[in-house]
Amino acid sequence: MIVPIVRTALMALRRDRPALAMSFILPIGFFSIFAVIFGGQRNSTHKINVILVDQDRSRSSLELARGLEREDSLVISTRPSSKEKAAAPPDYTAATAEAAVKAGDAPVALIIPAGFGQNPISFGGNQNGPAIQLLSDASDMIAPQMVGGLLQKAAMTAMPTAMAEQGMKYTDQYIGGFTPEQRKTMDANLGYLRNMETKDNADSSASAAGSSGSGGLVAVKMRSVVGENKNGNMISFYAAGIGVMFLLFTASNSAGSLLEEAESGTLDRVLSSRVTMTTLLAGKLAFNTLLAFAQLVVMFLWAWAVFKLDLFTHIPGFVVMGLCTAFAVAAFGMLLASICHTRAQLGALSTLVILMMSAIGGSMFPRFLMPPAMQKAGLFTINGWAIDGFTKVFWRDLPVQDLWQQVSVLLAVGIGLFLIARRIARRWEFA
């Protein structure tokens, strides 16, 4: 009895070739995506963009800057990137660097303050001079820690003269001073060390490898400039990420009613009335948009009630992003439903596409922790743009007008997908 049951199920599956294909494509697709995201990190962590502002312009600060530039895992910028033919923009200042971190241009900014070169080294935590400021975006918990560590490493390897001078200064101070002869020998050795440094700096291919020790050689004051007043967890990020993913599932499921109506003959009956296909699809798009927005509202209200998300001070941004996101996912659902011929096909295809988009777009794993190529790939997903927009609203506290990019893309995507869905839906119009 079992064999005929298996045979019948197999025959049914074989007849639904798209569903059969999806059964195998889905796991392969997912395996590939996660292999790219995580497998790409096997040998190295992706590079971190760091904005550097040198207010000191001393020998020590320049040496430190050069040391940081030699780090393979850092990309140091002292000025915003310029377009090919545009004039070079001015160097970052402390204020513009902070604004850039807030805007999400880089996760970390280092500001070497004026006077740093007087006492660059702070052995044992003694801080005689001004400390380097490390400004960070708290949404990226890894980048500031990594940059802080590499900063200490750079101090150790790139400023031997400063370290020696500072060490001798302390020795002179605490053991009662050097004899003139000792001071003469010391100066001679320091001169040799400076020559070596100059030679090293001239060699652009000098290896950055060296001691990995870091014990607070330079004083660093870390400060989160984004999210410093937020809850430590990333509630808004996850509310947006998970929310958009489930919105996509809801939208595709809801749009699937079109297939049910086509199968039952209800669609034919509706289209024999005054309702045209465009009106019908527009009506379903409107319903699915409202449904998706209501789902977002419930999710963010839950995040507010349970996880203390600061929803009510961000209402305009939330409404704008929520409606645009809901519109785009609703149109996406309409497209999937119009492509598929059966509910089974829709289920398989939507699972495949939505999970892939969610993985690439950052619903499952923050995009800023992905390799750069994957971060760019995320821009081809609704999730990526929606999460970016919600992050701007809830994390960066940016005003509504700063959402124009995300709003434009999501609306354009929604309109585009709807038009394609309308074109494909012609197959239901007439036999």
Partner 1 sequence: MKTRSATQPYDPIPLEVASLVKRFGQITAVDGISIELRSGECLGLLGPNGAGKSTLIRCIVGRALADAGSISVFGFTVGTSEAREALGWVPQELALYPRLTCRENLGAFGSYHGLSGSKLAQSVAWCLDWAALGDRAGDLVKNLSGGMKRRLNMAAGIIHRPRVVLLDEPTVGVDPQSRNRIFEMIEALRAEGTAIIYTTHYMEEAERLCDRVAIIDHGRIVAQGTNRELIQSSFASRSQVLARFAGPTDEIAAWVERHEGRLVDGAAEFTIEQSTQIAGLLDDAAKAGLELVDVSLRRPNLESVFLHLTGRELRD
Where is 115: in which H helix or E strand?
none
Dist CA 429 CA 423 (whole Å): 10
Q: Rounded distance, CA 274 to CA 262, Å?
A: 17
The residue from 124, 180, 232, 265 that contacts partner 1 (CB under 8 A) is 265
Contact 344, 15 (CB under 8 A): no
By beta-carbon proximity to partner 1, the closer residue of 72 and 429 is 429
Cβ neighbours, 10 Å, residue 259:
21
Q: Closest CB to partner 1 among 308 and 423? A: 423
- Pattern of binders to partner 1 over 270-299, x per CB under 8 A? xxxxxx------------------------
Q: Quick one: which segment of 79-87, 216-224, 258-266, 327-335 binds partner 1 (CB under 8 A)?
A: 258-266
**Contact in structure between 342 and 259 (CB atoms under 8 Å):** yes
Token digits of residue 145: 């820690």
Six-digit token pair at 22? 């999806």
Among 3, 11, 95, 431, binds partner 1 (CB under 8 A): 431
Using rule CB under 8 A, residue 268 touches partner 1:
yes
Name the residue nearer to partner 1 (CB basis): 197 or 261: 261
Residues 414, 210: Cα–Cα separation, whole Å:
52
Residue 233's alpha-carbon distances to 134, 179, 408, in angstroms, are 21, 57, 29
Q: Are 101 and 108 in contact (CB under 8 A)?
A: yes
Q: Which residue lies nearer to partner 1 by CB, 63 or 261?
A: 261
Stretch of residues binding partner 1 (CB under 8 A), selected from 12-20, 97-105, 267-275, 330-338: 267-275
285, two tokens: 């798009």
Does the protein bind partner 1 through residue 269 (CB under 8 A)? yes
- Number of residues near partner 1 (by CB under 8 A): 13
Whether residue 63 contacts residue 90, with contact meaning beta carbons closer than 8 Å, is answered with no
Q: Which of residues 193-212 bind partner 1 (CB under 8 A)?
A: none
Which DSSP symbol is given to 110?
E
Residue among 83 and 274 whose Cβ is closer to partner 1: 274
Nearer to partner 1 among residue 45 and residue 264 (C-beta)? 264
Counting Cα atoms < 13 Å in the Cβ hemisphere of 41 gives 12
221 contributes a contact to partner 1 by CB under 8 A: no
If the CB atoms of residues 88 and 431 are measured against partner 1, the closer one turns out to be 431
Q: How far is the CB of 264 from partner 1 (least distance, A)?
A: 6
User: Measured from the CB of residue 263, what is the shortest distance to partner 1 in angstroms?
Assistant: 9
- In terms of Cα–Cα distance, which of 257, 250, 266, 427 is closest to 343? 257
The interface region with partner 1, picked from 122-130, 259-267, 304-312, 331-339 by CB under 8 A, is: 259-267
Tell me the two tokens of residue 293.
């927005």
User: To the nearest whole angstrom, how small is the minimum distance from the Cβ of residue 255 to partner 1?
Assistant: 16
Stretch of residues binding partner 1 (CB under 8 A), selected from 194-202, 266-274, 288-296, 344-352: 266-274
CB of 358 within 8 A of CB of 31?
A: no
Comparing CB distances to partner 1, the nearer of 257 and 351 is 257
- Residues of this chain that interact with partner 1 (CB under 8 A) are 264-266, 268-275, 430-431
